[in-house]
Amino acid sequence: MQQGQKITDIQLPTIDGKQFSTKHLQGKRYLLTFFRFATCPFCNMRLAQLVALKNQLSQELPEQTEIVAIFSAQLTHLQQHANKHVTQLPILADEDNKYYEQFGVKKSLWGLIKGAVLRFPTAIKGLMRGYIPKEISSRLLIMPLSLLVDDEGVIQSVYHGKDEGDHIPLTQVISFLKQ
């Protein structure tokens, strides 16, 4: 997916067992972000930031914005390991990586190494909060992808993370959602 394109409908199960569709977001501006796996310390630290942001924005712009997180994970694994964030925003499980492939989510061994070195303090904070990576698989190589989608379903920005902890700046997200 690229900037200027209309987003395709995403239909995935949510962490609370319901079915989610981006069709329900028509008329809203939203951040759609692809994460690695459910126990990733970088992903869960970022998710905590997004939950805080969602709470902040819900007071300023109720019902006009949303933040959606997608994990490369089985639903049961996601439910066990990302349940701290369950009621705050839609958290989806893409078990087969269908949308990861469709949206061009990148993988990078160099990004994995770079992030582990450059973002070591963030990894330690995540580990101290209980986000302990419990799987060794190709999911380790997934780099974050974030899309800002306007109220007409058009992608306004695409941000490919350059390493495992590189996410779209929160200032850019806030500015977009408040427009």
With CA atoms as reference, report the closest residue to 109 among 139, 70, 74.
Answer: 139
User: Residue 12 — φ and ψ, nearest 5°?
Assistant: -145, 160
Alpha-carbon distance of 88 to 149, in angstroms, equals: 19
Strands 29-34 and 65-71, by their bridges, are: parallel
Identify whether the C-beta of residue 42 lies closer than 8 Å to the C-beta of residue 119. yes
Domain ranges across the chain: 11-178
Alpha-carbon distance of 100 to 119, in angstroms, equals: 24
Its pTM stands at 0.88
Identify whether the C-beta of residue 92 lies closer than 8 Å to the C-beta of residue 100. no
Alpha-carbon distance of 145 to 35, in angstroms, equals: 7
Which pLDDT score, from 0 to 100, does residue 136 have? 62
> Spelled out in words, what is the top-level CATH class assigned to the domain 11-178?
alpha beta
pLDDT by 10s per residue, the chain, length 179: 899 999 999 999 998 889 999 999 999 999 999 998 888 888 888 988 898 888 888 777 767 889 999 999 899 888 887 666 556 789 999 999 999 999 999 999 998 888 888 878 877 787 677 666 666 666 789 999 999 999 999 999 999 999 988 999 999 999 999 88
